[in-house]
Amino acid sequence: MSVRTLPSPDIRAAGRAAADAPAVSDTREELTYRQLDERASRLAAVIRRETGGPGAGSGCTCARNAVVVAILAY
């Protein structure tokens, strides 16, 4: 998976500035900043719901191409 350097430490701000630009890709899929933000937000909502909210311990096992989404969700 290749990860491009963001122009800002705030990923959402970078995503809004270039929502349709490629953010991450692997051999099977490429995600734009918008898609990356949407997936990370959905995963974060599941993690909050299933673990009892912010600050609760949790773990995540995922395929290599989903690692960036999982990291952003945490």
Summarize pLDDT for 15-71 with one digit per residue, the tens. 778 889 988 887 888 888 888 888 888 888 888 888 877 777 777 777 766 667 667
Contact (CB, 8 A) for 10 and 18: no
E strands, 2-73, are 2-3, 22-25, 30-32
Nearest to 40 by CA among 3, 1, 15, 73: 73
Q: What is the pTM of this model?
A: 0.66
Going by pLDDT thresholds of 50, 70 and 90, the confidence category of residue 11 is low
